[in-house]
Amino acid sequence: MNRKMVFFIIGRILLLESILLGLPMAVSIYYWDGGQIPLLFSMLLSLALGATLTRFMRPDSQVIYAREGFLITGLAWVIISVLGALPFVLSGEIPSFVDAFFETVSGFTTTGASILTDVEKMSRSMLFWRSFTHWIGGMGMLVLMVAVMPNLPGRTIHILRAEMPGPTMGKLSPKLSDTARILYLLYIALTVVELLLLLAGGMPLFDSAIHTFGTAGTGGFGIRADSVAGYSPYLQWVIAVFMMLFGLNFNLFFLLTMRRFKSVLRSEELWTYVAIVLASTALICWNIRPLFACFSDALRHAFFQVTTISSTTGFSTVNFDSWPSLSRMVLVLLMFIGACAGSTAGGLKVSRVVLLFKTFRREIRHLLHPHSVTTIRFEGRTVENTTLSSVATYFALYMGLFVLFWFIVSFQPGYDGVSNFTAVAACYNNIGPGLNLVGPAGSYAGYSPFVKLVLSLAMLFGRLEIYPMLISLMPGVWLKK
């Protein structure tokens, strides 16, 4: 194994993180809110570690294989979270390191689950950093590194494949670094558009930035106790629509810029996703209609809650925990489905769900007509059996790990089954709020440090789609030459 290369790339990631910490630093200097010293210290520490690693771990050979790709990704995410947690601890705003780690992992993995009981007490720079981690984690730190740092070897694809969500990875251009750049450009462009639309609706600049970061990364950290409930309906609609957009496969946006509209309209995943969102909205809207005075409110709240959960963001406009159990059940289901592959969202991903259903259908047809030949087509192409079986395996593993996490979390005294179940579901699928004690009005503060660490792990497993974390945790992989 090319250990030097693993640490060399981690070193680069740390250099990048120290640069990225500059933005909250600037915010902190602007508001002079006491976050400067902790942020400066974190920046310098990250810089020093990064410089040391890139200096002393200069690899003899740049060749890496899938194994190194998984390890780099898994390790990098843990390390950036540890360093990203430092400003919170040092500023004393989240004194416990475990809490700060949970919060940062929740930020980078775009989960949005919080241990804060009173978010409005936080300083501006810390709130900014918390939400900025969403934006970085949404598209991915490693993708950013490939986009901005030149001269990486050809096999970088192993790293990106480990970080980018979805069953298969499609390149947008022949060179990986160009692909990463295109993705980030699209990401930035969409972010700017949302920011402008929010500003146009009268939201202050700071609030707009926070909510745009939360939406773009499909994270969901807000700055108010009631999330976005206090903002105008226009602003809520803007956020809802953008949550849905950020849940789409970014390849589609690329195709749009290339003026290949036909290819976009033919995307099966896109239509399935839209259908899921519309159907759930209609169902919930009908279900909660009696709770609201006018239809437009019910529609808005239903649509907002559906997009926030299906795109795995986690903002809320109402406390949906008080909704009828049918609506709550639909929302929990949406948690698992998630949004499209190649988006910033979490969950199983719509394309996997579609492939799973097609596999089930084929299996049943096969039972009825044992000699029938059936191929599965998706997005206009025949899907290979290896892809199908890897999707099925992923699903089994996904559910297996979910049960394991649920089991461990259940040791926590004082929490009911629904809370535990949805807490794990919300972390694992990178959503944020669950139901009952961890609902939109509650927080994760009451869990023991051990459970918080387990939930942090669940978030990382969910964001990186299991394998990178699983492989990084296997000691045998590290010991192998």
- Residues contributing to the site for other proteins (CB under 8 A): 66, 154-158, 171, 173-176, 178, 381, 384
Contacts of 246 (CB under 8 A, 6+ apart): 138, 190, 215, 216, 217, 218, 311, 313, 343, 344, 345
Smaller CB separation from other proteins, 174 or 476: 174
Bridge partners (DSSP) listed for residue 377: 382
Smaller CB separation from other proteins, 369 or 377: 377
Rg over alpha carbons for the chain, rounded to the nearest Å, is 22
CB of residue 16 to other proteins, shortest distance in Å: 20
DSSP character string of 94-157 = S-SHHHHHHHHHHHHTT------S-GGGS-HHHHHHHHHHHHHHHH-HHHHHHHHS----GGGH
Contacts of 395 (CB under 8 A, 6+ apart): 348, 352, 356
SS3 292: coil
The tokens describing 305, both together, are: 């809650």
CB of residue 176 to other proteins, shortest distance in Å: 5
CB of residue 389 to other proteins, shortest distance in Å: 14
Smaller CB separation from other proteins, 161 or 452: 161
The tokens describing 456, both together, are: 């942090």
Smaller CB separation from other proteins, 1 or 26: 1
CB of residue 385 to other proteins, shortest distance in Å: 11
Smaller CB separation from other proteins, 159 or 426: 159
CB of residue 174 to other proteins, shortest distance in Å: 4
Smaller CB separation from other proteins, 264 or 426: 264
| Angstrom distance (rounded) from CA 180 to CA 174 | 11
| Angstrom distance (rounded) from CA 468 to CA 297 | 42
CB of residue 90 to other proteins, shortest distance in Å: 40
431 and 348 in contact (C-beta within 8 Å)? Answer: no
